[in-house]
Amino acid sequence: MKIGLTYTISPGLHDETKHNNYIKWLNLPGQDEIITFKVSESNSKRIEECSGLILSGGIDIHPQYYNSSSLNYCNAPVKGFQKERDEFEIEILQQAFKQNIPVLAICRGLQLVNCSLNGTLVQDLGESLNKIHKPETDDKIHGINIEESSLLYTIVGEKKSPANSAHHQAIDKLGDGLMISGRADDGTIEGIEWADKSAKAFFIGVQWHPERMFKFNLDTNPITKNIREHFINAAKNIQL
């Protein structure tokens, strides 16, 4: 089995910790392989080898991908956007959907899926909500309220759970074909999935970072542990 994972490190930075957190969280056995998708390697075609795809977190998506011309909003990337990464990952995502393989979209990944399906983003949550959601020296923790009619609820088995938070943007207009599976207490959208799941592979998007919940001793919490298990099991069932 091969799992695709988009590369989360910004150009010019050499700290692999964030990317390695995903690899450690997946904890795949030796016979399985993680294919890391990097713009610098132009290896998007390797998605055809994959039984599943994880879209990782990272820098804000360029506003053009959600039909906005506003580039100088509060907390916009200081060193500029990475349009090459946006385009590269949208190409991989579209192919993954075409192949009908499982997709797990995390933080920026959730936002990328929403934008690719004609959704939009709140460019900055504002001072009050950023106190709850935007990271400082580390992630923050808040509650997630899970829709009982959702796949996410089937996976997690709980109506409410703590989750970590490291974002200052969020979904505004929901993308085509999606439903909301979870919200923070303040109403911020924290989970998405297909509204009509018939004949579709596993897909969920989460605004939190399940791969980093070990930092809060929450690595056995269903909102991280069960998501990992369901994604991997779904990928194992794919016949390429």
**Would you name the residues annotated as active-site residues?**
107, 209, 211
Token reading at 67: 């039909």
Q: In whole angstroms, give the CA distance from residue 137 to residue 32.
A: 34
Q: Exposed/middle/buried for 238, CB within 10 Å: 0-12, 13-18, 19+?
A: middle
CA gap 100, 199 in Å, rounded:
9
**Pairwise CA distance, residues 39 & 164, whole Å:** 28
Q: Are 53 and 47 in contact (CB under 8 A)?
A: yes
Q: Which two tokens stand for residue 140?
A: 């923050």
Q: What are phi and psi of 12, to 5 degrees?
A: 90, -15
- How is residue 167 annotated by DSSP? -
- 213: helix, coil or strand? helix
Q: CA–CA distance from 22 to each of 177, 192, 199 (Å)?
A: 27, 20, 28
Q: How far is CA 40 from the centre of its chain?
A: 21
φ and ψ at residue 172, rounded to 5 degrees: -105, -85
Q: Residue 218: which region, alpha, beta or left (left: phi > 0; alpha: psi -120 to 50)?
A: alpha
